[in-house]
Structures are given as C-alpha cells and as structure tokens.
Amino acid sequence: MARTEDVRQMFNRIAARYDLLNHLLSAGIDRRWRRLLIRKLQQQDARQVLDVATGTADLAILAAKRGIPHIVGVDIAEEMLAIGQRKVERQGLASVVTLKPARAEKLPFSDRSFDAVMVAFGVRNFEDLALGLQEMCRVTRPGGMVAVLEFSTPKYFPLRQLYLLYFRHFLPLLGGWISGDRGAYQYLPDTVLAFPQGQTFIHRLEGAGYDQCRQRRLSGGIATLYTARKPG
Ligand SMILES: C[S@@+](CC[C@H](N)C(=O)[O-])C[C@H]1O[C@@H](n2cnc3c(N)ncnc32)[C@H](O)[C@@H]1O
C-alpha cells in the first residue's frame, strides 16, 4: 500500500480539482451512494459522527445538512481540508462540522467518543488498513456503527468488462488531462483493483473488532457500502 506521505502529497496536489473530477468521473452517482450511507447512520440515531479521510468534507457536509448535529472530519492532506473548511463556512455549518488534520491510523480522540465513524473512498488509501480500522473501532462507542463506502469491481459480463475498460484506460487519461496529474488518476484504478473487497473486506472489519458486518453492492457493484457494529 502507498506510503502516507506520498498519498498526502498527491491529494494536496489535486485538491483544487478534486470536487470537479470526483463528480465528473463518477457522473454524479457518488451523491446517491453518500445519501444512502447517511441514511444508515440516521437509522441508528447517530449524533456524534467522525468522518475519516474527509477530504474536501462532502460527506461531513451532507451529514450536517441531513440533520446530524456534530461531525468531526479528519484527513492527512491539509489542502483538501482547507477547501473543505471554506465549503463548511460558506454553507454556514461551522458550528456543526469541525475539520482537523489527523491520520486514520492514529486518531486524536479518546476511546468511545463517537456514535458512528464513516469513511467514503478513504480506506483503500490507508497505509495500514488493519490499524486504521482498529482505531476507528476504538473511538466508536459500544453499540455504535461504522459505515465504509468504497469502490469495488462489478462481477458480471458485460458491466465488468466495460467498467474495467473505463477504469483502466479512460479514467487515467481523462483525470490526468483535467487535473494535470496523470499519476494521481493512475493511482485510483491501481488501488481499487488491489484493494480487498466484498467478503475479504468484511473479514478485515471483523478482525478490527466489529460484528454484524454487512455489505451492499451499489450500481452493479461499482461501489460497495459496508456497515458494521461495535459489540456492546
Ligand atoms: C479519494 S479522497 C476521499 C475524500 C472524501 N471522503 C470524499 O468522499 O470525497 C481520499 C482522502 O483520504 C485521505 N487519506 C489518505 N490516507 C489517509 C490516512 N491514512 N488517514 C486520513 N486520511 C487519509 C486523503 O488525503 C484524501 O483526502
């Protein structure tokens, strides 16, 4: 897995174009996936929520708009956080959403501080996935939940073949062209294709201390929403 410092520098480099590219390259479907994740948290009545790898704070802002009263977002890339902070302020959400620099593998919070922890498109970047998931479990209260949204690869013909073609060839070209950083958009398919998905990722969640792990494949398997509970 990539080193944290390389990942930090890469996201700092693409921060200014991140939001545009994110919605463009996913044709906006990521918004629907994010709404679904927030609904899961609301079903558990989560009020104090941590957004790990918050980036430019899209998920944290959505959670705030949907009525979750306290959200803390952490990320290693300060340029991503700076853009997120401006968005939070522009939308008048500064009393609800707090952003701070921190690594998933070393969260600066005491045990059991949050009702829920969420991550969107972040876990595959962790240098140490097991440690990041353990830390997320540590700061969750017993009975609280984790929700992880991550890209995955469709299983069946012809979506799988079309997706791989798009992901391996068009996306690095298009992303590189718009962001001016081809490496960053080559990194995306490389990490997605190498990342544990489905049942393998569920085993990682169990290994980190969660139970009641579930997965829901979205949009034909382009992304997967994983949820789990901290035993309590
Ligand atoms: C693809 S972006 C996702 C951002 C945001 N969650 C979203 O949904 O748009 C991945 C983010 O993970 C952050 N990141 C990578 N490794 C991290 C780590 N170990 N701890 C915290 N954040 C990390 C990067 O800086 C980047 O902002």
Domains recognised in the chain with CATH numbers: 4-154+195-229 (3.40.50.150)
Query: Could you tell me which residues come within 8 angstroms of residue 69 by beta carbon, excluding any fewer than 6 positions away?
Result: 47, 48, 96
CA dist 94 to 31, 76, 151, Å? 22, 20, 29
Nearest-atom index, ligand 1, CA of 54? 6
Nearest-atom index, ligand 1, CA of 103? 20
Ligand 1 pocket mutation pick from 33, 49, 76 by most atoms within 8 angstroms of CB: 76
Which residues' Cβ are closer than 6 Å to ligand 1? 4, 7-8, 11, 22, 52-55, 58-59, 75-77, 80, 103-105, 120-122, 125-127
Q: Report pLDDT for 1.
A: 40
Nearest-atom index, ligand 1, CA of 77? 25
List the pLDDT tens digit at each of the 232 positions of the chain. 448 999 999 999 999 999 988 888 788 899 999 999 999 999 999 999 999 999 999 999 999 999 999 999 999 999 999 999 999 999 999 999 999 999 999 999 999 999 999 999 999 999 999 999 999 999 999 999 999 999 999 999 999 999 999 889 988 998 888 888 888 888 888 899 999 999 999 999 999 999 999 999 999 999 999 999 999 8
Cα-to-centroid distance, 119 and ligand 1 (Å): 8
Residues in the chain: 232
Nearest-atom index, ligand 1, CA of 127? 19
Q: Report pLDDT for 25.
A: 79
Query: Could you tell me which residues come within 8 angstroms of residue 165 by beta carbon, excluding any fewer than 6 positions away?
Result: none
Cα-to-centroid distance, 213 and ligand 1 (Å): 22
184 contacts 6 by C-beta, under 8 angstroms: no
Torsion sign, CA atoms 66, 68, 74, 78? positive
Nearest-atom index, ligand 1, CA of 149? 8
Q: Report pLDDT for 167.
A: 86
Q: Report pLDDT for 214.
A: 98
CA-based angle 185:125:121, to the nearest 5?
75
Ligand 1, atom 17: closest residue by C-alpha: 126
Q: Report pLDDT for 139.
A: 98
